[in-house]
């Protein structure tokens, strides 16, 4: 009452049309960007900005001609809150959208040779993290100088290379399709993906490895590799000083390759599930120790700091340093990380790897899952379980490669169909181990399955955690049989109460 409201069919209607039109133009710009149409992208953005300015100007006019303020009753409060808050969201939305884009992936922009056209495309972060992990395991940054003469040379070649077994060709094709650059070369037993054109290295490779950091000692190689490419980018590689710098960078890279390079990037190491899956695709093995499944990573001792970070990220694992075997030439000291506790394999390793592996390691992983299930349910103690366990081992790792068929020593080929059929028959049998409240018992008994179970001990209002029954027995000087009985029955012993975590 007493307020002359704004006519919705005048300025508000015009502004609504302008607002919807700007949505059309910015969408046109977005799709032009995806298609690499630089002119369409710029035109769409220019029209959007012009419409935004017109919209803002009309809104200012609307405010200036209105005969009420924000304090004039409910109508005034709602009008200015609605229009003002809408304007605020328009200011904040681009910032949030930029943050989301940066978090979700990377926009690659590559100028086309001898043209003003810019080819732009988007690569998802999950792929980039996997790729960087894979390069940490299997890739190399190479700088080759030809015609070296004192402080000058004829040519410098820069290459990012990933080499795999020939049967993993689909993986390098997958990488090439996502990066939209590079080449693939094949030989009898090897397939290589490489990027060696300077345009792609500067505009695709360098931005990717600055967006997601390498975690291994290859980070040092990349830093030198990037410095040389920056000299090429600025044309400084053409003058004597730039050439001397490139020669020096190449010598440093060679020195790093031939010697143990301590990691100095501990604070920059950032492990993620996707990165770890890429690293596992290159360096890990899903295997067994007799009838016990295990997951193992092994590398040169210079990756010790990285392996410590991986162990911290997983929250478990046995880290060990190998010794040089005297009967092997040119063998380096290695560091390995092994996980063989069944619950940690089930609840930590399997969830991280599921749906993320890309190489033939995925075949090993899928077969290894059967071994984990057989071991966890106790089928491995049955004759039928032992037989299928051994057959599965003969189709994993080096045995899965068709080029390694000779390693089977003329044994009949075991197909996936045979294994699945025998597993189906095996799973019809009662499994020897049963699960009660998350703890495995031998079927039809109160006997615990021998394994490392974390337990909690309460005594005089204090609580202590032990990593195993053995550890608890040793520290408290109480027999393991007594502790097991207390865990099964729930009874206490001389004031001590025991429970599984």
Instruction: Parse the chain into domains and list their residue ranges.
Output: 11-106, 118-267, 273-426, 452-500
Q: Residue 93's pLDDT is what?
A: 53
Q: Residue 428's pLDDT is what?
A: 92
CATH 3.40.50.300 fits 273-426, yes or no: no
pLDDT tens readout for residues 134-154: 999 999 999 999 888 877 888
The fold for domain 11-106 equals: 1.20.120
**Best CA proximity match to 41, nearest among 52, 31, 51, 56:** 31
In CATH terms, 118-267 corresponds, of 3.30.70.600, 3.10.28.10, 3.40.50.300, 3.40.50.1000, to 3.10.28.10
Q: Residue 488's pLDDT is what?
A: 79
**Best CA proximity match to 112, nearest among 223, 177, 26, 200:** 200
User: Do 11-106 and 273-426 come out as alike in CATH topology?
Assistant: no
Q: Residue 99's pLDDT is what?
A: 45
Regions of the chain short of the pLDDT cut 70: 1, 34-36, 87, 89-102, 113-118, 257-267, 323-331, 401-412, 452-453, 501
Residue with tokens 């700007």: 22
Dist. CA 274–CA 135, nearest whole Å: 13
Bridge pairing between strands 439-442 and 433-436: antiparallel
User: Which DSSP string corresponds to 85-112?
Assistant: HHHHHHHHHHHHHHHHHHHHEEEEEEEP
User: Residue 64 has which token pair?
Assistant: 């200036």
Q: Residue 406's pLDDT is what?
A: 64
User: Residue 9 has which token pair?
Assistant: 């069919």
Q: Residue 96's pLDDT is what?
A: 47
Q: Residue 79's pLDDT is what?
A: 81
Dist. CA 161–CA 126, nearest whole Å: 21
Q: How many CB atoms lie within 10 A of CB 85?
A: 10
Q: Residue 230's pLDDT is what?
A: 92
Dist. CA 185–CA 265, nearest whole Å: 33
Q: Residue 62's pLDDT is what?
A: 81
- Backbone phi, psi, residue 493, to 5°: -135, 120
């Amino acid at each position: 009452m007493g307020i002359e409201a704004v006519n919705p069919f005048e300025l508000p209607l015009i502004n609504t049309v302008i607002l919807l039109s700007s949505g059309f133009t910015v969408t046109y710009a977005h799709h032009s960007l995806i298609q690499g149409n630089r002119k369409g992208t710029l035109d769409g953005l220019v029209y959007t900005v012009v419409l935004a300015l017109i919209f803002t100007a009309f809104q200012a006019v609307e405010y200036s001609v209105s005969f009420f303020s924000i304090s004039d009753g409910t109508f005034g409060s709602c009008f200015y809150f609605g229009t003002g808050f809408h304007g605020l969201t328009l200011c904040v939305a681009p910032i949030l959208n930029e943050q989301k884009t940066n978090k979700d992936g990377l926009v690659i922009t590559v100028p086309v040779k001898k043209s003003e056209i810019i080819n732009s495309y988007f690569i998802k972060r999950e792929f980039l993290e996997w790729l960087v992990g894979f390069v940490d395991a299997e890739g190399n940054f190479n700088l080759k100088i030809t015609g070296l003469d004192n402080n000058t040379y004829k040519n410098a070649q820069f290459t990012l290379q990933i080499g795999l077994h020939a049967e993993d060709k689909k993986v390098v094709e997958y990488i090439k399709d996502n990066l939209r650059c590079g080449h693939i070369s094949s030989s009898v037993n090897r397939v290589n993906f490489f990027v060696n054109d300077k345009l792609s290295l500067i505009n695709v490779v360098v931005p990717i490895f600055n967006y997601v950091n390498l975690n291994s000692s290859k980070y040092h190689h990349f830093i030198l590799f990037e410095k040389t490419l920056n000299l090429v980018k600025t044309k400084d590689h053409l003058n004597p000083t730039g050439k001397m710098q490139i020669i020096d960078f190449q010598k440093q890279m060679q020195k790093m390759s031939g010697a143990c390079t301590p990691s100095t990037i501990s604070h920059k190491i950032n492990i993620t599930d996707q990165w770890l899956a890429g690293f596992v695709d290159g360096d890990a093995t899903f295997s067994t120790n007799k009838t016990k499944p295990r997951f193992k990573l092994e590398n040169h001792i210079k990756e010790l700091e990285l392996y410590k970070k991986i162990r911290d990220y997983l929250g478990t694992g046995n880290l060990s340093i190998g010794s040089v075997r005297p009967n092997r030439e040119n063998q380096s000291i290695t560091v390995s990380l092994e996980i063989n506790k069944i619950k940690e394999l089930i609840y930590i390793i399997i969830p991280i790897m599921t749906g993320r592996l890309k190489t033939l390691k995925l075949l090993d992983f899928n077969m290894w899952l059967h071994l984990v299930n057989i071991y966890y349910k106790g089928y491995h103690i049955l004759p039928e379980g032992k037989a299928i366990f051994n057959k599965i081992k003969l189709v994993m790792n080096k045995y899965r490669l068709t080029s390694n068929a000779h390693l089977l020593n003329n044994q009949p080929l075991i197909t996936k169909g045979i294994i699945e059929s025998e597993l189906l028959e095996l799973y019809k049998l009662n499994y020897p181990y049963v699960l009660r409240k998350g703890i495995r018992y031998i079927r039809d008994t109160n006997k615990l399955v021998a394994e490392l179970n974390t337990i909690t001990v309460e005594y005089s209002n204090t609580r202590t955690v032990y990593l195993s029954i053995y550890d608890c027995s040793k520290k408290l000087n109480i027999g393991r049989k007594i502790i097991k009985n207390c865990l099964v029955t729930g009874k206490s012993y001389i004031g001590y109460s025991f429970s599984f975590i």
